[in-house]
C-alpha cells in the first residue's frame, strides 16, 4: 500500500470508507477475514486488527458463528463524513452559520520565512498577527486552522468577534477589506504533533491540508489561511460537465 502508515490502519480506513460511502447496506454482512486477506494481500492477523478497531468504533458488529456486519446506526455513518461539493464551496465554507468556533488564540509573532515571503514582507524583523482556531460543525470537530495577517490589519481584530462570525466576514464587513482574488492549494499530508493534538488523532495520521492566500486589488496579499482536516472524515466531491465547442470537448468543473 506504499505509505508509512501501518497496513492494518490503511485497511481499516478503506473498509470504513466502504461503510461511509454506503457500499454496504446497514446491517449487511461484509466479506470474511479470509476473503479480505486475499483482497488486501495481507495476513489474517492484520485484517483482524483492522476489523477489531472498526468494531470498537461502532462501525461493525460481530456475531459469533455468523460473521461481521455493518452497524445499523445510520446516524453514526452519516456523521462520519462531510461532503464538500468542490473547491469553490470550501473557499467560503467558513461562512456557514452552523460552524462554531470553540477556541481562539491571537498572538503577535515574527513570521516564518515562507509566510513572510507569501505576504511579501520586505522587513525581516516585521511582526504579524497569527490566529489559531479550532472549529466544529454540528458539535463534530471540523478543522484546526491558522491565519497570518499583516500587523496593521490583524491588530484590529477582536478575539470575541471570532466566536460570533468568520474571520473572512470580519475582514470584509468590519475592516472594509475588499478581496478580489484567492489562490488555494489542497494536498494530502500527515498530522504533526500540534495538529494531531488539536484534531484528536495520532501524530502522523493522514490529513487534508488547505492553504489559501487572499489578495486585494493589485494582487496585494493580505491574509494566509492554513487549515487541517481529519483525513478519515472529509472528502471533496467535484462535479464535472462535458462542454462541447467548435474546438472540441473538454471536462470542466460544474458550479451549481
- CA nearest to 166, candidates 223, 108, 220, 232: 223
Residues 43 and 156 reside in one and the same domain:
no
> Between 91 and 126, whose confidence is greater?
126
Do the beta carbons of residue 253 and residue 86 sit within 8 Å?
yes
Residue 165 DSSP one-character state: S
> Could you tell me if residue 206 is inside a domain?
yes
Residues 55 and 125 reside in one and the same domain:
no
Q: How confident is the model at residue 44 (pLDDT cuts 50, 70, 90)?
A: very high
Across all residues in the chain, what is the average pLDDT?
A: 84
- CA nearest to 187, candidates 214, 208, 213, 212: 208
Give, in order, the Cα–Cα distances in Å from 207 to each of 4, 128, 169, 200, 201.
Answer: 14, 27, 26, 12, 10
Judge if pTM exceeds 0.85: no
Average pLDDT over residues 145-164: 94
Residues 95 and 68 reside in one and the same domain:
no
Residues 44 and 108 reside in one and the same domain:
no
- CA nearest to 231, candidates 143, 100, 101: 143
**What's the CA gap between 108 and 157, in Å, rounded?**
12
In the chain, the number of structural domains is 2
> Could you tell me if residue 244 is inside a domain?
no
CATH code: domain of residue 23: 1.10.10.10
Residues 90 and 180 reside in one and the same domain:
yes
**What's the CA gap between 168 and 20, in Å, rounded?**
31
Sign of the torsion formed by the C-alpha atoms of 138, 208, 172 and 160: positive
Tens digits of residue pLDDT in 101-154: 999 999 999 999 999 999 999 888 899 999 999 988 777 788 899 999 999 999
Residues 18 and 96 reside in one and the same domain:
no
CATH code: domain of residue 92: 3.40.1410.10
Element (H, E) at 33: helix 33-40
Query: Read out DSSP for 178-220?
Result: -EEEEEEEEEEEE--HHHHHHHTS-TT-EEEEEEEEEEETTTE
Element (H, E) at 44: helix 44-56
110: containing domain: 82-236
Average pLDDT over residues 14-43: 89
Residues 67 and 117 reside in one and the same domain:
no
Residues 96 and 39 reside in one and the same domain:
no
Residues 179 and 105 reside in one and the same domain:
yes
> Between 7 and 36, whose confidence is greater?
36
Amino acid at each position: 500500500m506504499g505509505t508509512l502508515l501501518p497496513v492494518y490502519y490503511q485497511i481499516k480506513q478503506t473498509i470504513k470508507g466502504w461503510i461511509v460511502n454506503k457500499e454496504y447496506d446497514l446491517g449487511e454482512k461484509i466479506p470474511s477475514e479470509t476473503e479480505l486477506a486475499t483482497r488486501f494481500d495481507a495476513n489474517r492477523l492484520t485484517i483482524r486488527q483492522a476489523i477489531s478497531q472498526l468494531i470498537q468504533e461502532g462501525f461493525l458488529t460481530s456475531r459469533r458463528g455468523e460473521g461481521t456486519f455493518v452497524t445499523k446506526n445510520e446516524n453514526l455513518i452519516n456523521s462520519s463524513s462531510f461532503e464538500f461539493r468542490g473547491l469553490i464551496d470550501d473557499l467560503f465554507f467558513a461562512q456557514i452559520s452552523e460552524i462554531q468556533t470553540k477556541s481562539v488564540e491571537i498572538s503577535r509573532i515574527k513570521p516564518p520565512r515562507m509566510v513572510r515571503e507569501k505576504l511579501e514582507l520586505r522587513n525581516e524583523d516585521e511582526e504579524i498577527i497569527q490566529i489559531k482556531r479550532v472549529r466544529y460543525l454540528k458539535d463534530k470537530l471540523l478543522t484546526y486552522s491558522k491565519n497570518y495577517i499583516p500587523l496593521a490589519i490583524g491588530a484590529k481584530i477582536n478575539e470575541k468577534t471570532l466566536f460570533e462570525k468568520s474571520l473572512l466576514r470580519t475582514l470584509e464587513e468590519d475592516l472594509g477589506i475588499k478581496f478580489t482574488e484567492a489562490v488555494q492549494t489542497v494536498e494530502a499530508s500527515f498530522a504533526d504533533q500540534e495538529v494531531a493534538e488539536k484534531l484528536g488523532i495520532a501524530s502522523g495520521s493522514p490529513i487534508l491540508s488547505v492553504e489559501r492566500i487572499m489578495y486585494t486589488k493589485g494582487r496585494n496579499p493580505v491574509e494566509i489561511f492554513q487549515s487541517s482536516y481529519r483525513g478519515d472524515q472529509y472528502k471533496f466531491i467535484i462535479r464535472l460537465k462535458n462542454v462541447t465547442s467548435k474546438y472540441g470537448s473538454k471536462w470542466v468543473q460544474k458550479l451549481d
